[in-house]
Amino acid sequence: MIHVQKHSECKLGKAVKLIFQITQHERDKELLNLIILYFNCGTLKTDNHCKVLTVTKFEDVYSIIIPFFQKYPLQGVKQFNFIDFIKAAELIKDKAHLTHEGLEKILFIKSGMNSGRDYSSHSD
């Protein structure tokens, strides 16, 4: 996901963060721990009866998570969101998120992901 929030210490008043998450039932805690070991990054937290693996460090998302899913592509409509996720990552890598124009590009990308996407134009 692309997370944008108000942040008074940021020049533009907003902070941008890429977040990779996998949520599973608490019975699958060991699976998520194995994924953390495999990627050598991420944290595991509990949310109700779910376990949530989260990777927020940009370097880990950019150099570990993205290359993995480029090598082993997601199937179905999640692939479209992943392609947008990469576009946002490239903007952040190039520090474009620190400019008004770059931030607007990221907000536009974010607005078209998940429930904001028109899936009728895509065929699977």
Residue extents of the structural domains in the chain:
2-116
CATH architecture observed for domain 2-116: Roll (3.10)
> How does pLDDT run across 38-78, given as a tens digit for each residue?
999 999 999 888 999 999 999 999 999 999 999 999 998 88
SS3 state of residue 15: strand
pLDDT at residue number 95: 93
If we measure between CA atoms, which residue out of 17, 13, 100, 22 comes closest to residue 61? Answer: 17
Q: How many residues does the chain have?
A: 124
pLDDT at residue number 88: 95
Tell me how far apart the alpha carbons of residues 21 and 6 are, in angstroms, rounded to a whole number: 21
